[in-house]
Amino acid sequence: MTEGRPLRTVRSFVRREGRLTSAQQRAIDNLWPQFAIDDGESIINLNQLFSRDAPKVLEIGFGNGSSLVQMAANHPEQDFLGVEVHRPGVGQLLNLVEQCHLTNVRVACTDAVELLKHRIADNSLDRVQLYFPDPWHKKRHHKRRIIQPDFITLLAKKIKSGGHLHMATDWQHYAEQMLEDLSNSDVFVNCSQDDTYIARPDYRPLTKFEQRGQKLGHGVWDLLFKRR
């Protein structure tokens, strides 16, 4: 509390609504009941949500959803839950899910930290993936980066023993910070042979954003850690 007021939670994102296209709005209106998770306070039964017992993958911040949909299409034996605060991205994902006739994708339009804290059961996720999160590159904004020691502790509770945390960024400083923070954890083990970074796994699609960056000589750093 500060002067009688509660401290405001530092968020890792800025909610930018943007403008929904007619197709995105139609997808949200028509497909939300089938593929989306409504706000609530109870723990989500993931097996019930997907109507089966299969490996569960949570992606935080899926953008326009194209990469997530490609992974879901390539791995029908896995279930994917995507979390995104940008509603046009949610609408675009739902469109793609319908176009590809996928049944192994669900979406939540909410704060991923709050979802993990209150609605995801402990030891229920096989993999958490976080690709190209906002780097908050100004030093005074580093506290807004989603990967912080407290968040790592939260993830350690939700990821099964033997499960994985996979991150990717095109900001070297953020990669170095993530590497340091995860290496200081006593519950995650680096899957890299030299305890640094890994090559992009085949299951993570190469995005147009990355392809453009590679032509300009930009680097991308993948980090993969295993839950003890």
Q: What is the number of other CB atoms lying within 10 angstroms of the CB of residue 148?
A: 17
Looking only at the bridges linking them, the beta strands covering 79-83 and 159-169 are unpaired
- Whether 195 is a known active-site residue: answer no
State how far the alpha carbon of 139 is from the alpha carbons of 8, 136, 144, in Å: 20, 8, 10
- Name the active-site residue from 111, 126, 134, 170: 134
Nearest to 106 by CA among 79, 129, 84: 79
Tokens of 33: 């009941």
Q: Closest Cα partner for 147 from 138, 139, 158, 136?
A: 136
Give the active site residues.
134
